A and B are shown apart, each in its own frame.
Chain A
Amino acid sequence: MASALPDSSRDLLRDYHPHPGVADELLTGSGELRPVWSRLISFLSRLSDDEVLHRFAHGDQYLRDAGVFFRQNGGGISTERDWPLSHVPVLIAESEWDSLKAGIVQRAELLEQVMADLYGPGRLVSDGLLPPQLIARNPEWLRPLVGVTPRGGHFLHMLAFEVGRSPDGSWFVLGDRTQAPSGAGFALENRVATSRVFSDFFAHANVQRLAGFFRGFRDAMNGMTGGSDGRVAILTPGSHTDTYYEHAYIARYLGFLLLECEDLKVDHGQLMVRTISGPRPISVLWRRLDAAFADPLELDARSQLGTPGMVGAIRAGTLTMANALGSGVLETRALLAFLPAIARKLLGGPLLLPNIATWWCGQPTELAHVKAQTAQMMVGPALSTSLPFEIDDTTALGGAFRGEARSSVEAWLDEEAPNLVGQQAVTLSTTPAWEDGRLVPRPMTVRVFAARTPQGWTVMPGGYARIGRTEDATALAMRNGGSVADVWIVSDHAVATDSLAHPAPGAYVRRSQGTLPSRAADNLFWLGRYMERGEGLMRQMRCYHLRMAETGLESTPLLDHLGEHLTRSGADLEHPIPPQINEQVEAAVGCAGKVRDRFSIDGWLALRDLAKTVRWMEGSVQPGDDAARAMSVLLRKTAGFTGLVHENMYRFFGWRFLSIGRALERADRMCVTLAGLAAPDAPEGSLDVAVEIGDSVMTHKRRFSVETNRNTVIDLLALDSLNPRSVLFQLSEVKDQIAMLPNSVIQGEMSPLSRQVLQLHTDLAVLTPDQVTPRRLLRMRVRLAELSDGLTAAYLT
């Protein structure tokens, strides 16, 4: 079945020499190109090196633009690295994939049955198919869930399987991922990036599309609400998690709410999300959180990530958890030793897709076998849920330890046999990766995803391949410098293109807006405030440095007054760019980072660009003119972000909270500015600075044919309802936005918050400039703070 290499492919494959005794995805044992690859290889070989690199760069650009990154945690620091895409996909023929698929479906079904037994009658243990201690001592076997039948009857809904290819060409499972498997979203992103790299080729390459799989899963999840008014949501541990990007991405893609434990509470046995419209029921939760953390009341009491009563809601039958709490027990390494026999018992036949050969050392025969074969074994903790290639100091490979944890594997086995398993040290197949203008064979595994639908298990046609950096299979994990690749299931015939939208036009349902979680609203509100606070500081600092540059002096009455004013606003003038600007911008990034699923990618990138620029400038900018110009740059970048948000953000409630935050902060800042710079005793020039900070120099010229005086400045910056920098204008904005929020009017009656803002607005609107004293301005600040508190109490907690 192999075809001869096209002439032009020779260069490309010049150094492509798979190891003897290792299966290779690209070449057969006799060195011939596998047919499924021939079109891609001949396409690649027609490209010059530059063209190839240009295409790769195109894919990388997409990933950067989309904000895909990989977070590396280590030594207490978390760093974001570029997404390590290996641009050459892994190609698998459809016919071969179909048989792998059958094995995956069988395995998913088997795991469901094992789960049902471990949390039900426990026959696998009493019938002797599983040693009791592997379950009873297993931290992932959660006793509070024993005897709890899942709502809808099923425990498992989304699974992943790490598969590899043996030297004989057959597939096997390295590990089952049943807790909260990640990677499905990354597989999507890899697909988009790789299809950009091969844009003209991909369309005609007969590659099976992924959207149908996600549509099936999404519809299944939505279907599990069972006609209740409860919604579907994804539960994430939060933005500090290394896979948070994926959670946000997949939530956006599937249209599910993305929630953290703070968003949730349990009311009378029903899980609820706190929204700006009050609590709303959640009836299906796709958790990306390890089960032990889900409920501090019944599971790990130290968990800060959980929702008290979550287990109770499951017990009450009001919540479907995908996957059921406790499913992590199925990831136990030692279980792999017993699955073949369990399959024969429960399914009446052998596993179609075997797993990595595993021996539990708690049995004498198995222990003897492992001892005799330590050179070909990985020996590690029996209850570990790590994948075999995630080798750490607690695992011995080939009879030796990586770390210095222990002296001898032999002694370890003697002391702790029941806590250990031996696993056959595997040889993985190799697949081509691009290195320095040529293809080289690198070891790989593929993560395959399966989802439950009403029609049964479906398997994602494709997956998420991990590619080793070197020939050492243990370097597969990304932390060790491995990379990831798209997986193409190639059909013999053309495939239909697909997207997440249903193919047939039909009725559409507009989702109600009221389900904005309070925490998300709170983050957006503070994002608005922090951005405005940062912008205000930039404006003030620009004025300060401009005055310094104009006079060439470091101290004049005006500069001193301005400096005092700035210091009171919290700016540290020791630095040309006070660290407080960075603090505000970073706080804004922090807020935005927690609502990535509600935020446009462009806005996010603009914000990160701003943050980067601030950091860079802090180290290089000189006081005076240089700093003033730096501030102008920052202000432009800030305006870029604000523009993106306000031009492009849909006017849903989230945007309103962002706008209210911004307006409240701007009103507050202006009160401070006027109280300080329009004070009767402020030095000469202060009023002009106030007008400059208020970005209203031109307007002042146009509106008043006179020089600035206290009344004109107060009128323009406090009372002018048409000047977007005035306090009154911002109060109108707050008032209008509040009127658009849920429950602003209840049965024809204004809410307390609506009254509060109207009163404040009116009190200011009726004043004349001479009545706006510094004292009144400071009183106004107190009332703005009260308004912020009122808003928080009504919507944000």
Chain B
Amino acid sequence: MAQLYDIALEFGYRYEQPASMGRHVLRLLPLNLENQQQLVAGEVSIDPRPDDRRDGVDFFGNARTEIAYDRPISGVTFRLQARVQRTATAPQFDLSPALERLGEDLALARNLAPGSPHHFTGNSDRVQTNPAMTAYAREALSRAGTGPLTAFQAVQAVGRALHRDMTFDPKATDVDTDADEAFKARRGVCQDFSHIMIACLRGIGVPAGYVSGFLRTIPPPGTERLEGADAMHAWVQAWCGTEMGWVQFDPTNDLLVASDHVVTALGRDYADVAPIRGQLRASGSQKTSQKVDVIPL
């Protein structure tokens, strides 16, 4: 079912004193994804206007905007206005191989294209597999069923287990918390849920990556409001073999991603898709506004 959204985002920062803000990279503009979503229109605007601005696409195909100021500034506001047509649906059929045969499919994927599962198997900047998380994932699999699971079933089993065992707690972690730390505490926000799920999946041989994006703000009638609707959200994509390809799972809300989510950027972990990268937080800055509205039309 196609769904049209208007997305409005605003992040504002102020400095105690005018500061040389340096250089930043923004990844805010939603992606065009074949058969899943279409960016009808969109614009990232920055106030004050940067002295240098370069728009481009990164390795994974995400829209990136690099900005720099020649002069000290006393504050900055980033805004996104976008209209997105979302057509993605949750997978209807399980076309994935048995988990233990996923490696055979992987061996056939002989390429380094951005969507190649090989980018998502090893350790990345913010996600390192470790025995504890791998053991947890195996435990989740054995609890999910007695017979051998398919890769797709495995992904859901791990995601569901995490949703059950983790507590959503914005105070427990911050943007720099690593997966292992949040896992030990069994607490965190969508970023932590996602990093932990990625580590668990990679640990059992499922290529897994990080998705940043948006959730619709007001849920459809009769359903509950989802966690993360008032900010940018994050979830997981997992590779379920040649036939099935990538599927997306939201461990924070325990669901397969369909038309309520809008994808902004894909990467191995948060470091690849951070909405704002640069030294913004370094020099005594203060976040003055954060508004995210995702309005279904």
- B212 CB within 8 Å of chain A: no
Give the interface segment out of B114-122, B144-152, B188-196, B240-248.
Answer: B114-122
> In the complex the two chains form, is B116's CB within 8 Å of A297's CB?
no
Q: Given the complex, which residues of A lie within 8 Å of B113, measured CB to CB?
A: 122
> In the complex the two chains form, is B111's CB within 8 Å of A308's CB?
no
Per-residue interface assignment for chain A, residues 103 to 140, with 1 indicating a CB less than 8 Å from any chain B CB and 0 otherwise: 00000000000000000001001101000110111000
Per-residue interface assignment for chain A, residues 233 to 275, with 1 indicating a CB less than 8 Å from any chain B CB and 0 otherwise: 0000000000000000000000000000000001111000000
Nearest-neighbor residue (CB-CB) of A137 within chain B: B122
Cα A95 to Cα B206 in complex, Å, equals 55
- A143 CB within 8 Å of chain B: yes
Nearest-neighbor residue (CB-CB) of A135 within chain B: B112
Q: Given the complex, which residues of B lie within 8 Å of A269, measured CB to CB?
A: 52, 54
- A146 CB within 8 Å of chain B: yes
> In the complex the two chains form, is B121's CB within 8 Å of A133's CB?
yes
Chain A contact residues (Cβ within 8 angstroms of B): what range? 20 to 34
Nearest-neighbor residue (CB-CB) of A309 within chain B: B23
Q: Given the complex, which residues of B lie within 8 Å of A315, measured CB to CB?
A: 56
- A695 CB within 8 Å of chain B: no
- B109 CB within 8 Å of chain A: yes
- B25 CB within 8 Å of chain A: yes
CB distance from A465 to the nearest CB of B (A): 37
Cα A269 to Cα B118 in complex, Å, equals 32
- A301 CB within 8 Å of chain B: yes
> In the complex the two chains form, is A308's CB within 8 Å of B22's CB?
yes
> In the complex the two chains form, is B112's CB within 8 Å of A297's CB?
no
> In the complex the two chains form, is A143's CB within 8 Å of B59's CB?
yes
> In the complex the two chains form, is A136's CB within 8 Å of B119's CB?
yes
Cα A315 to Cα B57 in complex, Å, equals 12
- A223 CB within 8 Å of chain B: no
- A298 CB within 8 Å of chain B: yes
> In the complex the two chains form, is B277's CB within 8 Å of A122's CB?
no
Nearest-neighbor residue (CB-CB) of B68 within chain A: A309
> In the complex the two chains form, is B58's CB within 8 Å of A309's CB?
no
B10-56, CB < 8 A from A: 22-25, 51-52, 54, 56
> In the complex the two chains form, is A133's CB within 8 Å of B111's CB?
no
B98-130, CB < 8 A from A: 109-113, 116, 118-119, 121-123, 125
Q: Given the complex, which residues of A lie within 8 Å of B178, measured CB to CB?
A: none
Cα A309 to Cα B277 in complex, Å, equals 12
> In the complex the two chains form, is B25's CB within 8 Å of A298's CB?
yes
Q: Given the complex, which residues of A lie within 8 Å of B122, measured CB to CB?
A: 133, 136-137
Cα A147 to Cα B112 in complex, Å, equals 12
Identify which of B51, B66, B68, B110 contacts A128 (C-beta below 8 A). B110
- B70 CB within 8 Å of chain A: yes
Nearest-neighbor residue (CB-CB) of A141 within chain B: B112
Per-residue interface assignment for chain A, residues 302 to 344, with 1 indicating a CB less than 8 Å from any chain B CB and 0 otherwise: 0000001100100100000000000000000000000000000
- B80 CB within 8 Å of chain A: no
- A552 CB within 8 Å of chain B: no
Nearest-neighbor residue (CB-CB) of A302 within chain B: B125
Nearest-neighbor residue (CB-CB) of B207 within chain A: A136
Q: Given the complex, which residues of A lie within 8 Å of B219, measured CB to CB?
A: none
Identify which of B56, B109, B121, B278 contacts A137 (C-beta below 8 A). B121
B54-111, CB < 8 A from A: 54, 56, 58-60, 66, 68, 70, 109-111
- B271 CB within 8 Å of chain A: yes
Cα A309 to Cα B113 in complex, Å, equals 25
CB distance from A518 to the nearest CB of B (A): 15
Nearest-neighbor residue (CB-CB) of A121 within chain B: B112
- A514 CB within 8 Å of chain B: no
Cα A132 to Cα B115 in complex, Å, equals 13
Q: Given the complex, which residues of B lie within 8 Å of A133, measured CB to CB?
A: 118, 121-122
- A144 CB within 8 Å of chain B: yes
> In the complex the two chains form, is B54's CB within 8 Å of A137's CB?
no
> In the complex the two chains form, is A297's CB within 8 Å of B54's CB?
no
> In the complex the two chains form, is A144's CB within 8 Å of B23's CB?
no
CB distance from B122 to the nearest CB of A (A): 3
> In the complex the two chains form, is B54's CB within 8 Å of A125's CB?
no
> In the complex the two chains form, is B118's CB within 8 Å of A126's CB?
no
Q: Given the complex, which residues of A lie within 8 Å of B277, measured CB to CB?
A: 297, 301
Q: Given the complex, which residues of B lie within 8 Å of A125, measured CB to CB?
A: 110-112
Cα A717 to Cα B32 in complex, Å, equals 76
Identify which of B56, B70, B118 contacts A132 (C-beta below 8 A). B118
B191-239, CB < 8 A from A: none
Cα A144 to Cα B271 in complex, Å, equals 13
Cα A297 to Cα B280 in complex, Å, equals 11
> In the complex the two chains form, is B111's CB within 8 Å of A267's CB?
no
Cα A625 to Cα B52 in complex, Å, equals 65
Q: Given the complex, which residues of A lie within 8 Å of B56, measured CB to CB?
A: 315
> In the complex the two chains form, is B109's CB within 8 Å of A132's CB?
yes
Cα A161 to Cα B91 in complex, Å, equals 52
Nearest-neighbor residue (CB-CB) of B113 within chain A: A122
Identify which of A128, A136, A267, A308 contacts B116 (C-beta below 8 A). A136
Q: Given the complex, which residues of B lie within 8 Å of A268, measured CB to CB?
A: 51-52, 68
Cα A266 to Cα B25 in complex, Å, equals 14
> In the complex the two chains form, is A132's CB within 8 Å of B110's CB?
yes
> In the complex the two chains form, is A136's CB within 8 Å of B25's CB?
no
Q: Given the complex, which residues of B lie within 8 Å of A126, measured CB to CB?
A: 110-112
Identify which of A128, A135, A266 contacts B23 (C-beta below 8 A). A266
Nearest-neighbor residue (CB-CB) of A128 within chain B: B110
> In the complex the two chains form, is A308's CB within 8 Å of B110's CB?
no
Cα A633 to Cα B271 in complex, Å, equals 57
Q: Given the complex, which residues of B lie within 8 Å of A128, measured CB to CB?
A: 110
> In the complex the two chains form, is B112's CB within 8 Å of A132's CB?
yes
> In the complex the two chains form, is A136's CB within 8 Å of B54's CB?
no
Q: Given the complex, which residues of B lie within 8 Å of A143, measured CB to CB?
A: 58-60
> In the complex the two chains form, is A144's CB within 8 Å of B58's CB?
yes
Q: Given the complex, which residues of A lie within 8 Å of B125, measured CB to CB?
A: 300-301
CB distance from B144 to the nearest CB of A (A): 25
Known contacts A144-B58, A297-B277, A312-B66: does B118 contact A137 (CB below 8 Å)?
yes
Q: Given the complex, which residues of A lie within 8 Å of B111, measured CB to CB?
A: 122, 125-126, 132
> In the complex the two chains form, is B118's CB within 8 Å of A267's CB?
no
Nearest-neighbor residue (CB-CB) of B70 within chain A: A267
CB distance from A777 to the nearest CB of B (A): 33
Q: Given the complex, which residues of B lie within 8 Å of A122, measured CB to CB?
A: 111-113
Cα A269 to Cα B56 in complex, Å, equals 14
Cα A24 to Cα B212 in complex, Å, equals 61
Q: What are 17 A-B interface contacts by the 8 Å CB criterion?
A: A126-B110, A126-B112, A132-B116, A132-B118, A133-B121, A133-B122, A137-B122, A266-B68, A268-B68, A269-B54, A297-B24, A297-B25, A297-B66, A298-B25, A300-B125, A308-B279, A309-B68
Q: Which 8 A-B pairs have the closest CB atoms?
A: A137-B122, A136-B118, A143-B59, A308-B23, A132-B118, A122-B112, A136-B119, A309-B23
Residue numbers of A with Cβ under 8 A of B are 122, 125-126, 128, 132-133, 135-137, 143-144, 146-147, 266-269, 297-298, 300-301, 308-309, 312, 315
Instruction: List 18 other contacts, CB 8 Å, given A136-B118, A266-B68, A301-B277.
Output: A122-B111, A122-B112, A122-B113, A125-B110, A125-B112, A132-B110, A136-B119, A137-B118, A144-B58, A146-B59, A146-B112, A147-B59, A267-B68, A268-B68, A297-B25, A297-B278, A309-B68, A312-B66
